[in-house]
A and B are shown apart, each in its own frame.
Chain A
Amino acid sequence: MTLLSGTRVVVLADHLVDFGGSMLARLGADVTLTAAAPLTPARQKAWHKGMTRSDKPLEQLLGNADILLDDRRSGVRDGVDDLAGKHPRLIHVVVKGYPDQDRPVTDLTLMAQSGLMHVIGTPDKPPLRLPGEQAYALTGIQAATAALMGLRARRQTGKGQRITLSALQSAALANYREAVMYEHTGRIGTRRGNMLVRGKSGVRQIWSCADGYVTWSMIDNPGMMRAVVRVMQEHGAAGELAEIDWDAILVADTDQAVIDRWQSVVEAFFAQHSRDQLADWSLKHGWGLSPIIRLDEVPNTPQMKARAMFDADGVPGPLFAVHHMGAK
């Protein structure tokens, strides 16, 4: 991808900006990684992909740079502000854990403060994080965004600027639901396992099938429900679901015992069919069902292959697809 061809970036990395630097590299920028905090080989492979390492002095690297991603998770490196200040066209993105505090942070502690962990997992166990290093990844995306905003601004003003960004805000921004629900309803979300609770009842999100798992929920979408039941009828498996007028009921207002009974009919049907079969029906009939693909299967799915999503190193490459490059 060459969208950022000709853009020169220097990265001082300590987990918060690593993915952001790699994103700019994957977009075609010339990205130099210097003074990076150590990572495991796997994390290095993913988060440093596309960047070129250099031990040259920062003063030299900044000579022709457009962007400096300056990761201050563990504090400021000596002399960086003075050096950056010598380059009025430089977009200097300073990234800290907290906006106005120097407190130690890691991906886990940032996710804890996002409000997301409180609702992930099951009620009988501790709050759970999302897989991988989501707070770091989210901060990296915002670092790349801030840098690109700075480039746009520079086209207008002719000047660079010193942009500040916090990982706390980047992680909190991912939580679009919990704060607003509390502020406007007083309700506080809890961990409900794989149950999706809306209204007075809850519906399942994860189902066993003949060879794994699928995700699907009995939500208030009459067209979707009719499409599922139609296929179940063809297989003699719809039971009482065939008699329900889905336009006339609201699942969210239905008693839990009734929903559980309906779901047991679906459960028996799904258990008899494979992920591929259920996914094919979903794609054909608009069920809103998806097979749960195992991590090691993902790179070889036909969709990932068709869009050349993974590189030979087993790590995802292009951030998105670009069509019609060169259109005037």
Chain B
Amino acid sequence: MGALDGLKVADFSWVGAGPRSTKDLADNGATVVKVESSVRLDLGRRSPPFAGGDRRNPDASVFFAQTNTSKKSVTINLSDPRGVEVAKKLIAWADVVVENFGPGYMDRIGLDWETLQQVKPGVILASVSVAGRSGPLSGLRGYGNSAAAWSGHCDMTGWPETEPHMPPFAYGDVVAPMMLTVAILSALEHRDRTGEGVHVDVSQIEAMVHVIGDLFAELPTDKPANEDAEMTPHGVFPCKDDRWIAIACETDAQRMALAGVLGDGSVEHATANWDLVELEQRLIQAGVPAAAVLDGKGLSEHPDLNAAGHFVAVEHPVIGIANMPAPPYLLPDTPSDVGPSPCLGADNLFVFAEIGLTDAEVQDLTAKGVLV
């Protein structure tokens, strides 16, 4: 039994910011039905890498597979009013509705807040967007870097006295879904206590603001880079073969231990002659906080992560066996269970029967292009 067994989620979200949150829910036992379109594919299904390099197969994206573990997939054409009526049946079944559509889309297709409450009193609506669903930027369409730009992250990333830096990944698509999971679970606590549904509205910009809350309290005039206010030495230092080690000493005891390994001179010069793995082990044994800077290979092969079950080998009908990330927490009485991502529309028959459509209705609506 998972922590969220019995929880039902109608998931209208796509790409990264919504699906990573509903993955959290699904991995922990919730039944998450992902509403998709075979006409307008989730861009996640078009995102590399692809199993066997098969970018034309909507079920071959490993990016999508990692972001949508343990879910079910149905196809509904929401541009057809008959599709919206089917969506309402799904909402009537659900405890939580999740969406990250473009601004105003839910209202335009007739799935506004008031309608949702009529369809399912007390249902929770969870939205995630670049800037939130209110305020002058509520209409902002953006990519992953938009939230970094508006939140101060980009301004504070990089080396001092250089232009702002934008890393090659969408950090807003990482922290916003984490905040969305917290929002949904909190809203469920509230509903279970009061019977009230709420609309929780997560902004990527605000999620990124929160994770640099300490910088807003301090307002540094330039980028901190690898420096720290409390620790010295604190930085990333070269080892042999163009590899790097991070060292951060908090106490005099750690600084003495570091000197015991590297001597009293420049840390940077001292580390340059060391093999990374050997130095990391020596420093850890000496009680110095130190760690190798890992690349994708190092992360994939990390012995501690693999021993802890951080990556779970999951069999997928198209991708085969592939590693999927698991939740970082272990609830021994109600453990998570990471299953494969769904193939497009794989659960149409099961889910549509569950929400009350007959086989004949499903066949008819499919033939008419409504359930595709």
Report which A residues bind B (CB closer than 8 A): 2-7, 19, 23, 27, 40-43, 45-47, 49, 93, 98-101, 103-122, 125-134, 137-138, 141-142, 144-146, 148-153, 155-157, 159, 161-166, 168-170, 172-185, 187-189, 192-194, 196-197, 205-206, 208, 213-215, 217, 219, 283, 286, 288, 290-299, 301-304, 306-307, 309-310, 313-316, 319-328
Contact = CB atoms under 8 A, between A and B. Distances in A.
Given A128-B159, A291-B149, 18 more contacts: A2-B190, A42-B218, A43-B214, A104-B289, A105-B291, A106-B234, A106-B289, A119-B168, A119-B169, A148-B186, A192-B168, A294-B155, A295-B155, A303-B137, A316-B210, A320-B132, A324-B197, A328-B197
A146 B334 CA distance: 12
Given A126-B226, A141-B175, A145-B185, A109 B206 contact: no
Interface string B182-205: 110111111011011111111101
Contact of B298 (A115, A126, A137, A301): A115
Contacts of B149: 214-215, 290-293
11 contacts: A40-B229, A43-B229, A119-B168, A165-B328, A180-B63, A183-B62, A189-B295, A194-B163, A306-B134, A327-B117, A328-B196
Nearest to B285: A103
A46 B168 contact: no
B145 A109 contact: no
Of A98, A161, A177, A302, the most chain B CB neighbours within 10 A belong to: A177
Contacts of A119: 167-169, 295
B132 A3 contact: no
Given A46-B214, A188-B295, A164 B329 contact: yes
A246 B217 CA distance: 45
A110 B237 CA distance: 15
A126 B272 CA distance: 12
Contact of B143 (A108, A132, A193, A288): A288
Contacts of B346: none
A180 B198 contact: no
Given A288-B143, A307-B134, A310-B216, A326 B196 contact: yes
A293 B218 CA distance: 17
Contact of A108 (B165, B248, B328): B248
B195 A328 contact: yes
B109 interface: no
Interface string B331-347: 11110000000000000
For chain B, which range describes its interface: under 10, 10 to 19, 20 to 34, or 35 or more residues? 35 or more
B110 interface: no
Contacts of B269: none
Nearest to A189: B296
Interface in B62-120: 62-63, 66-67, 113, 117
A301 to B, nearest CB: 7
Contacts of A290: 140, 142, 145-146, 149-150
Contact of B199 (A104, A174, A323): A323
B331 A117 contact: no
B183 to A, nearest CB: 5
Nearest to B290: A109
A307 B135 contact: yes
Interface stretch (B33-41, B307-315, B356-364): B307-315
